Amino acid sequence: MSDQYVLLIDTKDQKGLVYHISEVIFKHNLNIEQNSEFVDEEVGKFFMRTVISGILDKEKFLNDIKAVLPISATIKFTKQQKKNIVILATKESHVLGDLLIKNYEEELNANVQAVISNHDLLKGLVEKFDVPYHTCDATNLDRQAHEEELAKIIDMYNPDIIVLAKYMRILTPWIVSRYEGKLLNIHHSFLPAFIGANPYKQAHERGVKIIGATAHYVTNDLDEGPIIAQDVVRVDHSFSWQDMRKAGRNVEKVVLSTALDLLLEDRVFVYNNKTVIL
């Protein structure tokens, strides 16, 4: 059976791009299994995601692709296979547990290499799934020292994606830049309206009608990185704040899982602090 690859192209739009790219694929005797395109006419940007199959000379194929694209084009070419992920967590188990179950049921196209937490409260849960657990305690350490210890553990695994599964520590520019483009975060969509230890209680007191969650890349602008996935559920006056929290946790699980699947399938393009999903 021949291998499958994902070709991602992000470039200035111009006539004939799809034709010339397809011609190169045909020339290399490859099959197009899936193809999606999008043009942002406001900025003149072209995006293309193509799944191809066959036996190829990767270097020669990419050289031929580059030859038919503008010099400024961004090209990503990966073999379709499981990606490696490391999960960061703190005390909350709902998002982490959902990912561990999906990994156990082989519903994730990923290898969950390890879970790292600044507490040991989730160790028992994680070990039930035979996943390595590391406690990176922040006690008596300043932020830089703690992140250096955290980075040492992450680097042991060299993951493709780092999932912040309710990891309740703000990351510094040092560690964000170290793992740029690899950090996926989930938060409730009340931010910045309801900030603090119990946003659902605040939301209940305010009488909100929608509970939401947002999954996004981590950048140095707190909770303002490019958005990958979002969703909401409706609530009403009959919901207690505990009911709202339960609804919020459910939507957080769905949104994070959706965003992670998109990254694992190489469907996400980033530009101008937003995303195109193909």
Could you report how far apart the first and last alpha carbons of the chain are, in Å? 26
Within a 10 A sphere around the Cβ of 131, how many other Cβ atoms? 18
* Catalytic residue selected from 13, 160, 223, 243: 223
Spatial distance between the Cα atoms of 118 and 201, rounded to a whole number of angstroms: 25
Spatial distance between the Cα atoms of 53 and 116, rounded to a whole number of angstroms: 36
Q: What is the DSSP string of 69-98?
A: S-TT-EEEEEE--PEEEEEEE-S--HHHHH
Question: Is 160 one of the catalytic residues?
Answer: no
Quick one: how far is CA 248 from the chain centroid?
A: 19
Structure tokens at 164: 């912040």
Residue type, 17: L
Spatial distance between the Cα atoms of 192 and 180, rounded to a whole number of angstroms: 24
Is residue 39 a contact partner of residue 45, using CB atoms and an 8 Å limit?
yes
Looking at the annotation, which residues are catalytic? 223
